[in-house]
Amino acid sequence: MYGGSPIPGKTGADWDSKTHVDGVIKNPSIHVDREIIMDEGEFCFEEFV
């Protein structure tokens, strides 16, 4: 997870921020196209284990 400047000179964003914040999400669940790839921090497919 990231929050802060979108680097307007590279992204073309019309806003900027003087702060920068990084974060870590513990035990995330990731869903893509209605399929669960990770559930509470554990991969659900053998090829990812």
pLDDT, tens digit (0-9, with 9 covering 90-100), for 6-29: 889 999 999 998 888 889 999 999
Q: Could you give the number of structural domains in the chain? A: 1
| pLDDT: which is higher, 48 or 16 | 16
Phi-psi region of 44 (alpha: psi -120 to 50; beta: other; left: phi over 0): alpha
Q: What is the pLDDT of residues 25-38, one digit of tens each?
A: 999 999 999 999 99
Strands (E), 1-49: 2-4, 20-22, 30-32, 35-39, 42-43
Domain containing residue 19: 2-48
